[in-house]
């Protein structure tokens, strides 16, 4: 059986990492092997082993990790002789592109983020934008080494192709999937208890939490809403958000839960899912909310519209607009029965588009097609 070698930065908990494990474990005609560049925070390694996936750790450290990694990854490939190499995330892709430039090794990359989104440049300092442009130049110069790319949405396929000067014909869009039976449908009744809005994302400004906090403040000032916003996630901007919540006297209406492993359970208890992100690769938490048939309020940006349509499956608000966000949250609060019907429609779409078994089959088909093309 031929080997597919997945190369990724680490096996810490993250959307790309979990997705690779689920895809790799479902390959029927290929033997999967996962190779990590860095051994720190290998939270998901035990899951790989439990699924029968071999894990190879390059254990790279220090400033010269790239130079050390080139010889190490070449040794791994010489020993395994994989039919195809699939690299994921920036450092893993950079190493793969440099190590196997102009070799016979078939290697492909992945677009999982809207790394060069206009919204990102708008929010960063000039120094941060300068650094990002350096990364983009390196990304663009090395991207030509890869034979093909997968992209988790059409939206970021377009933006990355433009930013990196890649022929769109070299990109195949395969959505990121989820295990369908992990999520059950439950719409809590309206009682004297608070109406629960749930947000799930890392605590970063680009996830739209400042807009969400301001929207909650607008709703609080109406005086007749019994609601609470629950936030599952952690991150470097936590102190900024907690300070803002205290400053606006929103402690009663806003609770930070930290990192949670029971998101399906939290979704069951929530009345509405809120996703105010400024830019995304796909939005894994959004897909999970769709599987759970939750009423959804999300940002009106191309990536999200690709998942939920232009208002057919979710209530969308204008980017950066806290007043509009509050308006859409209030609509769900006042029209809960109608909102749950939208959630059920979203669930039906998710079952068709984001089933992990279908996603794994699509990857396997792509690998076979690329290998067949190479062997002509």
pLDDT at 331: 98
User: Can you spell out the DSSP letters for 235-248?
Assistant: -TTHHHHHHHHHHT
How much is the mean pLDDT over the chain?
95
pLDDT at 311: 86
pLDDT at 182: 85
pTM of the model: 0.88
* pLDDT band (50, 70, 90) for residue 188: very high
Q: Which of 40, 37, 42 is nearest to 21 (CA)?
A: 42
Domains of the chain (ranges, CATH numbers): 3-177+355-374 (3.40.50.2000), 180-353 (3.40.50.2000)
pLDDT mean over 27-42: 93
CA atoms in the 13 A half-sphere facing the CB of 278: 21
Inform me whether the pLDDT recorded for 14 exceeds 80. no
pLDDT at 40: 79
pLDDT at 289: 97
CA atoms in the 13 A half-sphere facing the CB of 335: 16
What is the tens place of the pLDDT at every residue in 151-177? 999 999 999 999 999 999 999 999 999
pLDDT mean over 13-35: 93
pLDDT mean over 138-145: 96
Distance CA 362, CA 357 (A): 9
What is the tens place of the pLDDT at every residue in 281-340? 898 899 999 999 999 999 999 999 999 998 889 999 999 999 999 999 999 999 999 999
CB distance 241 to 258 below 8 Å: no
pLDDT at 15: 79
CB distance 61 to 91 below 8 Å: no
């Amino acid at each position: 059986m031929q080997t597919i070698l997945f190369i990724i930065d680490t096996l810490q908990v993250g959307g790309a990492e979990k997705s690779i494990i689920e895809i790799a474990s479902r390959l029927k005609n290929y033997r999967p092997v996962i190779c990590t560049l860095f051994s720190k925070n290998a939270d998901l390694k035990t899951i790989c082993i439990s699924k029968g996936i071999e894990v190879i750790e390059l254990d790279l450290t220090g400033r010269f990790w790239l130079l050390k990694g080139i010889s190490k990854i070449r040794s791994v490939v010489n020993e395994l002789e994989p039919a195809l190499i699939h690299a994921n995330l920036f450092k893993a892709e950079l190493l793969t592109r440099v190590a196997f430039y102009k070799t016979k090794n078939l290697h492909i990359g992945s677009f999982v983020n809207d790394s060069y989104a206009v919204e990102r440049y708008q929010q960063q300092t000039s120094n941060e934008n300068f650094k990002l442009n350096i990364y983009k130049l390196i990304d663009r110069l090395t991207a030509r080494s890869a034979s093909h790319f997968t992209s988790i949405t059409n939206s970021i396929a377009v933006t990355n192709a433009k930013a990196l000067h890649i022929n769109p014909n070299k990109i195949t869009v395969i959505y990121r999937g989820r295990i369908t039976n992990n999520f059950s449908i439950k719409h809590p009744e309206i009682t004297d208890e608070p109406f629960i809005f749930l947000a799930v994302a890392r605590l970063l400004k680009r996830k739209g939490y400042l807009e969400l906090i301001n929207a909650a403040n607008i709703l609080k000032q109406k005086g007749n809403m019994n609601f609470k916003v629950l936030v599952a996630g952690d991150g470097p901007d936590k102190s900024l958000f907690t300070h803002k919540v205290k400053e606006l006297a929103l402690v009663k209406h806003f609770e930070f839960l930290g990192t949670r492993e029971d998101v399906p359970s939290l979704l069951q208890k929530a009345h509405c899912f809120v996703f105010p992100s400024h830019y995304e690769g796909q939005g894994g938490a959004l897909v999970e909310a769709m599987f759970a048939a939750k009423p959804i309020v999300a940002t009106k940006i191309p990536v999200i519209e690709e998942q939920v349509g232009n208002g057919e499956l979710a209530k969308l608000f204008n980017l950066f607009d806290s007043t509009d966000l509050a308006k859409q949250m209030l609509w769900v609060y006042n029209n809960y029965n109608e909102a749950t019907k939208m959630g059920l429609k979203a669930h039906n779409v998710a079952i068709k588009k984001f089933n992990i078994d279908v996603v794994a089959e699509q990857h396997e088909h792509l690998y076979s097609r690329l290998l067949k093309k190479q062997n002509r």
